[in-house]
Structure 1
């Protein structure tokens, strides 16, 4: 007997767990599987509605009493580098960009471990082994690339970004870099370079993941001009980041049934899937 995947995605909610961004809060996520021949269309559609990809899953925050996590993207046409960002680009002019297929290597994993041990030793990914790392990089049903940054003088791998290519932009799924060059601003350089990648490809946006007002870990994203955040079902230009206050109220998040009902899905049948 032949079994086929359902045309309409099924959505689920994770159990509450401690929030990695704001103290004394619990997080949960609304998620669906990303699979089948229509994966690209689904990923494009849900990414434009604040979802993010992790391997074969698309997810979006759905916390019971908090709506602080805001999906963020840079409008490439509205971006102008600041003086400090220009200095970062100048400092890293000796780096070579190398785009590869989503295939994990030992050099990548070694760099990943050094990055975690230095910056996120107590984070949720701290115990990730080489097999889990390979799954993070390689398990993708859509068009993805690994963007590597190599020191042209030494040949050392100093930065990596797992990047998805969307219909309207590039999505920075996960990036990491050497902790040995703190003055070079490598994390910001990788974002700046992705803006150039999107511009050269004629794509309007660079998706950055979530910006969380009140979280020091996420403050750097608000420093990029042209930033937009997804609020109330639409993308809005970033106001003064200092005016954003983390929302925490029992009614700040719609019930799950309403959230799912308001998600716009691509026409799987019309696309020939």
Structure 2
């Protein structure tokens, strides 16, 4: 990359720490977040470098956990060339063979937001994204940058799911997936399908890794990530195989 941002050394960037706040994943724990100065937009070169150091994107913010005395949040990624779907994942692929996908820019669309709002209301009414609002949705998932995309999932002509992801120089970064929540769709395991389709997209584009964000061994909601094997974990500044 030839942009000035891509040549910016990481040590020249400015970062801030949030005040301690309640952890979203571990009850009773306090969390602190390190984030890039919001005045420094997450241009692709900076983003590429920071993702290798465990940073994630939320809206226009690049961040990673930075908690005193706790290392529970661990960055994980799938080396896609080594990935082989297991028996359950092969069944999910066969069951959803007729589901089509379309890659679009990460811009606001009323149909996307309607699906997101219902998903949050019915699946995450106990979480910090409830109640949903257009402002919250826009600041979380929409971004007018060339690397930010949505993967739309369609059953026939009906939009049934959206996976937000970023295209990095060395992989794809899965940001968030939301989908329909009726009984027929529940059987389709659309969250798993989205990851499998993103793995396939990495392979098609010759990208090495799919980044899945953070994994906490003690957090039940994150255990699904262990099903994607092999999985690599960031240990200091080195990525190594995750052994559970």
Q: Shared fold by TM > 0.5?
A: yes
Contact 1:70 1:211 survives alignment (8 Å): yes
Instruction: Say whether residues 1:79 and 2:83 are aligned partners.
Output: yes
Residue 140 of structure 1: CA displacement? 4.6
SS at match of 1:184: coil
Query: Number of matched residues?
Result: 233
Which position in structure 2 is the counterpart of 1:209?
Answer: 213
In 2, Cα distance between the equivalents of 1:188 and 1:124?
23
Instruction: Give the whole-Å Cα distance in 2 for the aligned partners of 1:118 and 1:128.
Output: 11
Q: Is the 8 A contact 2:107 2:144 kept in 1?
A: no
User: Is 1:223 paired with 2:223?
Assistant: no
Tell me: CA distance 1:59–1:38, structure 2 relative to 1, closer, same or farther (3 Å): closer
Give the distance between the partners of 2:145 and 2:153, measured in 1 at CA.
24
Q: Which residue of 228, 233, 239 maps to 1:235?
A: 239
Of 171, 184, 187, the match for 2:173: 171
1:159 equivalenced with 2:126 (yes/no): no
Determine the C-alpha separation between the residues in 1 that align with 2:39 and 2:71.
28
Distance 2:144 2:108 in 1: 12
- Change in Cα spacing, 1:89 to 1:34, as seen in structure 2 (3 Å) is farther
Are the aligned partners of 2:16 and 2:35 in contact in 1 as well (CA < 8 Å)? yes
- Check whether the contact 2:120–2:131 (CA below 8 A) recurs between aligned residues: no
CA shift, 1:233, in A, is 2.1
The answer to whether 1:137 aligns with 2:141 is yes
Q: Is the 8 A contact 1:70 1:230 kept in 2?
A: yes
What are the ranges of 5 or more consecutive residues in structure 2 without an aligned counterpart?
none
Q: Quick one: which of 84, 94, 107 aligns to 1:103?
A: 107
Q: How far off is 1:35 after superposition?
A: 6.0
Contact 2:101 2:152 in 1 (8 A): yes
Residues 77 and 226, structure 1, Cα contact 8 Å, conserved in 2: no
**Match in the other structure for 2:52:** 48
Alignment match of 1:13 (pick from 12, 17, 24): 17
State how far apart, in whole Å, the 2-side matches of 1:140 and 1:218 are: 29
Shift of 1:161: 1.0
SS of 2:57's equivalent in the other structure is: strand
Query: TM-score, structure 2 length as denominator?
Result: 0.90
- Structure 1, unmatched stretches of 5+, are 242-273
- Relative to structure 1, is the Cα distance of residues 81 and 45 closer, same or farther in structure 2, using a 3 angstrom cutoff? same
* Residues 142 and 48 of structure 1, relative CA distance in 2, 3 Å threshold: farther
Deviation at 1:20, TM superposition (A): 1.1
- Taking the aligned partners of 2:81 and 2:72, their CA distance within structure 1 comes to 27
Offset at 1:138?
2.7
Matched-pair contact (CA < 8 Å) for 2:56–2:63? yes
Give 1:142 deviation, angstroms.
4.8
Q: Distance in 2 between matches of 1:15 and 1:189?
A: 37
| C-alpha displacement of 1:127 | 2.6
**Residues 29, 61 of structure 1: 8 Å contact kept:** yes
The superposition leaves residues 230-261 of structure 1 with CA deviations (integer Å, 9 ceiling, x where unpaired) of 1222111011x2xxxxxxxxxxxxxxxxxxxx
| 2:207 partner SS | coil
- Structure 1 residue runs of 4+, over 6 Å off? none
Deviation at 1:23, TM superposition (A): 1.3
| Greater gyration radius | 1
